[in-house]
Amino acid sequence: MYRSHNCGELRITDTTKEVTLSGWVQIGRDLGGLTFVDLRDRYGITQVVFNLEENENLCLAARKLGREFVIRVVGIVKERSNKNPNRPTGDIEVEALSLEVLNASKVPPFTIEEETDGGEDIRMNYRYLDIRRPNVRENLIFRSNLAVSTRAYLANQGFIEVETPVLIKSTPEGARDFVVPSRMNAGQFYALPQSPQTFKQILMIAGMDKYFQIVKCFRDEDLRADRQPEFTQIDCEMSFVTRDEVLDTFEGLTKHLFKQMLDVTLHDFPKMSYDEAMERYGSDKPDIRFGMEFVDLTKKAKGHGFPVFDNSEFVVGICAKGIAESYSNKDVKKLTEWMQRPQIGAKGLVYIKYLPGGQVKSSVGKFYSDEVLLSWKDDFDAEEGDIVFILCGEKEKTQKQTNELRLEMGRRLELMDPAEFKPLWVVDFPLLEWDEDSNRFHAMHHPFTAPKKEDEERMLLGDHETMKNLRADAYDLVINGVEIGGGSIRIHDRDLQSRNFDLLGFTKEEAEDQFGFLLGAFEYGAPPHGGIAFGFDRLCAVLNGQNSIRDFIAFPKNNQGRDMMIDSPSYIDDEQMKELSLKTTIEK
Ligand code: ASP
């Protein structure tokens, strides 16, 4: 027998029992006639003690153990004289009667503790050692529990889990596909799914009514800091539902998960239109844990002889509370430089300080009288001691820049409480986005998203210009400024779907070639349907108040899309290439 108990289990009530434990040597310490070994497994750490006087050979053997040796110990549970309140097993220790080395270990390349000296690369190379660290291990356990809770909740709501294929067909819409050559069909390729979107819609046409799947999706995008080429979604679809029924169902799931995992009760989620989110926060995923909302100054700021504002499409400000006096000219200068970095690209930053005693100080004081500047105070709900920052320029760009400024000020002033969760639904997204470069429309969500009912006719009959402001029945769930997921009511009518492909620049042949199966299925009784997908990795991170999804993935890829441990991607040999009818011009 390897073990009677695990290493996190023994308590004071177990004293005098003879137990067998197996695990890894976290650390050994010799103190005079005693040798202590911290024995670790997934469940915790138990102190084992070897007594030189009572059993010399055993104690000498223990002194030879290295870090991460795998051992089995038989011993007696004793109350500790020197208790460790930070450990669930801290009241006891196991006095060893025998010791067996099950496997030796090389000295690990980094310390296997919560605080490690190992950098990212080395930890990824030796991910099996990294996962032995308690924080990484706990993240994976959390993820497992979240998946179990999700399945239980959705199953209870009548959803069934259906697996959709991983080898599918490449389509140019959306991100880039990963492709897989087919040996049996020379020159042809499968694609890995960016999401099971069309399959879940087909399942609705097939009458499955409520579908879900915790599913891997693949997108060959240039990797930004927190993107993974393969990631996991909670993917869902429902038939005969309105938008609000979909939202209610997934608000229910979200509330359930927060309660189960964190014991946090979430209030009902507000809904905000895309337009409103952009006007108030300059972002379609606003962090509403704090205010600092945008105030549109375009009208008021123009016509006072300040050419920069006069020549701008949009002038907007935000108010940072209570820092007018403490924020020096140098601070403002530094902030301006921060805003001018290429990542943000602001041209400049105007400030107004509302100081005690009704004084005003501003970088545009030359152009605006104190009286004028004071008259803006109410627009910002500003008080004495507050500072207002103003940006201007082309509307969309300025909104984005001001959003960055708002978030940065929120961080600096510590207005985002990590223990607080503020979800909201952002709804009524634009259906189409005009892309100047390619001179065509893109689907803002995806090509299967339905326009809002009231825009349907305009979409079918309208001219090009009116297409720019069609609204989609699409929605995102946002928590603390992070997009958790999104979805839409779908088109279920062949003509409307064809019209959408048409607007998106597909020829009839292309649409038929790529999506003929779906268009065909629409002709056999497609029910009205809609759905949503949550980013599962991201949900894990947000629930833990963390930014990086990588910490919640057992074997993540690095910024170059590489798996460091197995060293992939890699070349394949010529024979394999030939079999797959592939040629390469790359020198290996
Ligand atoms: N398939 C969509 C996505 O991956 C989600 C949805 O519309 O249900 O973003």
434, 501: one domain: yes
Dmax over Cα atoms in the chain, in whole Å?
94
| 197 Cβ closer than 6 Å to some ligand 1 atom | yes
- CA nearest ligand 1 atom 1, residue: 197
C-alpha to C-alpha distance for 106 and 164, rounded to whole angstroms: 43
Q: Which atom of ligand 1 is nearest to the CA of 486?
A: 5
398, 436: one domain: no
Give, for all 588 residues of the chain, the pLDDT tens digit. 999 999 999 999 999 999 999 999 999 999 989 999 999 999 999 999 999 999 999 999 999 999 999 999 999 999 999 999 999 999 999 999 999 999 999 999 999 999 999 999 999 999 999 999 999 999 999 999 999 999 999 999 999 999 999 999 987 767 899 999 999 999 999 999 999 999 999 999 999 999 999 999 999 988 776 789 999 999 999 999 999 999 999 999 999 999 999 999 999 999 999 999 999 999 999 999 999 999 999 999 999 999 999 999 999 999 999 999 999 999 999 999 999 999 999 999 999 999 999 999 999 999 999 999 999 999 999 999 999 999 999 999 999 999 999 999 999 999 999 999 999 999 999 999 988 888 889 999 999 999 999 999 999 888 888 888 899 999 999 999 999 999 999 999 999 999 999 999 999 999 999 999 999 999 999 999 999 999 999 999 999 999 899 999 999 999 899 999 999 999 999 999 999 999 877 777
Q: What's the pLDDT score for residue 174?
A: 77
339, 303: one domain: yes
Q: Which atom of ligand 1 is nearest to the CA of 233?
A: 4
Pocket test for ligand 1, best of 235, 489, 539 (most atoms within 8 A of CB): 235
Is 243 within 8 Å of 552 (Cβ atoms)? no
Which CATH number does the domain housing residue 378 bear? 3.30.1360.30
Q: Is residue 480 part of a domain?
A: yes
Domain end (from 490, 510, 530): 530
Nearest Cα residue to 450 out of 86, 124, 117, 201: 201
Q: What's the pLDDT score for residue 127?
A: 97
Q: Is residue 332 part of a domain?
A: yes
Pocket test for ligand 1, best of 159, 197, 250, 538 (most atoms within 8 A of CB): 197
Nearest-Å Rg of the Cα atoms of the chain is 30
- CA nearest ligand 1 atom 8, residue: 532
Which domain covers residue 305, as residue numbers?
290-412
Q: Which atom of ligand 1 is nearest to the CA of 217?
A: 4
Cβ neighbours of residue 22 closer than 8 Å, sequence gap 6 or more: 2, 3, 41, 70, 71, 72, 73, 102
Q: Is residue 122 part of a domain?
A: no
CA of 535 to the centre of ligand 1 (A): 10
Domain end (from 374, 391, 412): 412
Domain end (from 368, 384, 412): 412
Question: 3-state class of 568 per DSSP?
Answer: strand
Give the number of residues written for the chain.
588
Residue 57: both structure tokens together: 């050979």
Q: What's the pLDDT score for residue 125?
A: 97
50, 155: one domain: no
191, 307: one domain: no
461, 493: one domain: yes
Q: Is residue 584 part of a domain?
A: no
Which CATH number does the domain housing residue 85 bear? 2.40.50.140
337, 442: one domain: no
Q: Is residue 353 part of a domain?
A: yes
Which CATH number does the domain housing residue 479 bear? 3.30.930.10
| 530 Cβ closer than 6 Å to some ligand 1 atom | no
Based on the structure, what is the number of domains in the chain? 4
16, 92: one domain: yes
256, 144: one domain: yes
CA of 536 to the centre of ligand 1 (A): 13
405, 294: one domain: yes
| 196 Cβ closer than 6 Å to some ligand 1 atom | no
| 486 Cβ closer than 6 Å to some ligand 1 atom | yes
Q: Is residue 110 part of a domain?
A: no
Q: Is residue 93 part of a domain?
A: yes
CA of 197 to the centre of ligand 1 (A): 6
Q: Is residue 125 part of a domain?
A: no
43, 64: one domain: yes
C-alpha to C-alpha distance for 463 and 332, rounded to whole angstroms: 48
Considering the entire predicted model, what is its pTM? 0.94
| 488 Cβ closer than 6 Å to some ligand 1 atom | yes
Question: 3-state class of 477 per DSSP?
Answer: strand
